[in-house]
Chain A
Amino acid sequence: MGPILQVEKLTKRFGGLTAVAELDFEVREGEILGMIGPNGAGKTTTFNVIAGTYPATGGEVRFAGEPILGLPPHRIASRGVMRTFQHNRPFAGLPVIDNVLVGAHTRFAASLWSVVLGSARSDEGQRRKRAEELVQFVGLGELRDADVATLSFGQGRLLEIARALAGEPRLILFDEPAAGLTPAECARLAEIIRGIAARGIAVLLIEHDMHFLLPLAQRVVVLNFGAKIADGLPDEVRAHPAVMDAYLGSHATPQ
């Protein structure tokens, strides 16, 4: 299948620091592309530039064939690129289900006028049902109306995923979703991510932990100091000398 996301010569500098350097890769429709690299390799920065949070210093990003660099984050989201954050960022004043409904923000059809006038049939009920399904899907069904402050760390990770899915993305960006999860939670998460890909949603998955990533990803891109040092099938990447070097002394070692 063709590429849904094409990243070409993407560069991001913070003052004198080059966080992302001339990065090239693409995500194909329906695939899980893994992205690994040691701390500070520029993985999150890559996400932030793709999602429009940071302006790029140079390069090009195309989503579904159209350039998206320079668009504000909400426009990129409405085109179908949704993300999770490396550190949970729930909306603390909203219950679980409403957090997920915010994720569906761009999918509501009723205009503000029709809301104020109470005129047009609202799609609120239908959206709420969808959101409930997603809450079920990630396994937070019992906690639908819970205060997000009462969620465990792992449940917070799952909420991030449900919220991103609610935007009906064509591409979803996961920033270390497994970080801090127990082995049992990791196993469930892997199932959820496979389920998402099975729905035809392309997944770009940042992960520190190769044990988690390699069985899950169809292809892997390896970053170090902002530059791509290797890419290919999981087994190729695992055996790549540059990857072994980059990970030496780092806490996640390839098996």
Chain B
Amino acid sequence: MRAGGFVFFKTNHMSGLLRWLIAAVVLSAAAFFMGEYHNDVYRKLLLWVTLALGYNFLFGICGQVAFSHFAFYGIGAYSIVIFLFQLHLPFPIAVLCGIALCILFALAVAIPSTRLEGFYLALATLALGQLFIVVLNEGGSVTGGTGGIANYRLPELFGMRVRGPWYTGVIVLLLVFTYSILKRLDDSWFGRACRAVRDNPEAAAAMGVDVARTKVIAFTLTSALAGVAGMVYAFVDNTVNPPIFGIENAFLLLFMVIVGGAGRHAGAVIGAVLLFLLPFWLSPLVGHHHALVFGVLVVAAILFQPGGLIGLWDRFSRSRS
């Protein structure tokens, strides 16, 4: 639909499934050529890209300003750990319960706030994000308090325990799964309805779009996807603790999408990769002040390049052709 959509390979004739498979294999295989440290960085990068893709659908495509994405990531992560190791639920049940929990919370936030102006969703999700951290810190033995929960392991599935670079493969699957769902939605009547709601809600309603319902579905779906990503994250370091799921990271996610180019999958990927890797290069130069550089980047993007880096790329490739 849109030129420059994020495609792994230009293979129109190749069947969709095969294309996804190849992408997954290539991205996973890379993990086997890395040392432990780089593998760790690579995994976090893949998770950030996954989160940015989901958040881009909510913020960039549907136009909803929400700060709860990391709270849902955390709800997913904590719930899988608690359900598995404290309630001793079977693995598939624990996963389903975790997703159900995310959906429940998402509906509880979205249904009242999407009926109001967009500002209230921002407020409600900000509150949820803060509340979640408080609950984690005060959760006693259930959440492990400020120290979180550690010393658990991914249970054996079908007699195997996935670990090392193989677990990177699981994260790649998560990324491909997330992207394929978002891409299908975006290319359908639903994605168009989301963009219409973002651009002009009154006209969208006149065209037959149920504005409130569209917003609630987009919010719930992307929140549930964040929850699933959180479940995968829980077994990356085999530890979950509160700071990861705070508001700072929710803002970083917003920055990634804005700098990369809101509303475009490729933009979300570029923004996530850039802002995730930037601190690694910057910290030798500016120490912990890289947040300042991010701030400048975001302000520059908003003022001078609202299409983000992907928009810049479009202009560049158009002027060359």
Q: How far is the CA of A72 from the CA of B212 in the complex (A)?
A: 11
Within 8 A of A (CB), among B186-217: 187-190, 192-193, 195-196, 198-200, 202-211, 217
Q: Which of A121-143 contact B (CB under 8 A)?
A: 122, 124, 127
CB of A228 closer than 8 Å to a CB of B: no
A-B contacts at CB below 8 angstroms, number: 96
Nearest-neighbor residue (CB-CB) of B3 within chain A: A145
In the complex formed, the residue of B with least CB distance to A122 is B188
Question: Given known contacts A91-B200, A93-B199, A102-B192, is B208 in contact with A124 (CB within 8 Å)?
Answer: no
C-alpha spacing A181/B165, complex, angstroms: 64
Partner of A124, one of B180, B187, B202: B187
Which residue, A93, A101, A106, A127, has most C-beta atoms of chain B within 10 A? A93
B190 contact from A72, A112, A163, Cβ within 8 A? A112
Q: By the criterion CB–CB under 8 Å, are A115 and B207 in contact?
A: no
Contact of B209 with A74 in the complex, beta carbons under 8 Å: yes
Q: Is B1 an interface residue (CB 8 A)?
A: yes
In the complex, A104→B262 CA distance in Å?
A: 25
Separation in Å of the B79 CB from the closest CB of chain A?
Answer: 22
User: Cβ of B209 and Cβ of A102 under 8 Å apart?
Assistant: yes
A91 B208 Cβ-Cβ under 8 A: no
Say which residue of A53, A73, A93 sits within 8 Å of B198 (CB atoms).
A93
Interface: B315 (CB within 8 A): no
Residues of A within 8 A of B196 (CB): 91, 94, 102, 105
Q: Check A73 against B189 for contact (C-beta < 8 Å).
A: no
Q: Does A167 contact B (CB under 8 A)?
A: yes
CB distance from A171 to the nearest CB of B (A): 13
- Output the least CB separation between A1 and chain B (Å): 25
* B244 beta carbon closer than 8 Å to chain A: no
Complex alpha-carbon distance, A185 and B184, angstroms: 39
Q: How far, in angstroms, from A99 to B184 measured CA to CA in the complex?
A: 18
Q: Does B129 contact A (CB under 8 A)?
A: no
Known interface pairs A93-B263, A94-B195, A116-B181; A102-B204 also in contact (CB < 8 Å): yes
Size of interface on B: residues with Cβ below 8 Å to A:
29
Say whether A15 faces chain B, with CB atoms less than 8 Å apart.
no
Establish whether residues A82 and B199, one from each chain, have CB atoms under 8 Å apart when the complex forms: no
- Return chain A residues, CB-CB under 8 Å to B199: 90-94
Task: List the B side residues contacting A49 at CB < 8 Å.
Answer: none
Given known pairs A74-B209, A85-B203, the reply for A101 and B189 (CB within 8 Å) is yes
Q: A73 and B190 in contact (CB under 8 A), knowing A89-B200, A116-B181?
A: no
A86 proximal to B (CB < 8 A): no
Kindly report which residue of chain A lies nearest to residue B199, judged by CB atoms: A91
Closest A residue to B189 by beta carbon equals A108
Contact between B184 and A163 (Cβ–Cβ < 8 Å)?
Answer: no
B195 touches A163 (CB 8 A): no
A77 within 8 A of B: yes
Expressed in whole angstroms, the Cα–Cα distance for A167 and B199 within the complex equals 19
A106→B201 CA distance, assembly (Å): 15
B185 at the binding interface (Cβ < 8 Å): yes
Partner of B188, one of A89, A91, A115, A167: A115
In the complex, A101→B194 CA distance in Å? 13
Docked pose: A124 CA to B191 CA in angstroms: 12
Contact B203 A91 (CB under 8 A): yes
Q: Which residue of A lies closest to B262 (CB)?
A: A93
- Contact at B217–A112, with CB atoms within 8 Å? yes
Distance in Å: Cβ of A122 to nearest Cβ of chain B: 7
B residues bordering A, Cβ < 8 Å? 1, 16, 180-181, 184-185, 187-190, 192-193, 195-196, 198-200, 202-211, 217, 263
Given contacts A91-B199, A103-B208, A105-B207, 5 further A-B contacts (CB under 8 A): A53-B205, A91-B203, A92-B199, A102-B193, A118-B180
A-B CB contact pairs (8 Å), 13 listed:
A51-B206, A72-B205, A77-B205, A89-B200, A91-B195, A94-B196, A101-B189, A102-B195, A105-B196, A108-B188, A108-B189, A122-B188, A163-B207
- A-B pairs, top 10 by smallest CB distance, nearest first, are A77-B208, A106-B208, A91-B199, A89-B203, A73-B205, A108-B189, A115-B188, A102-B196, A105-B208, A74-B210
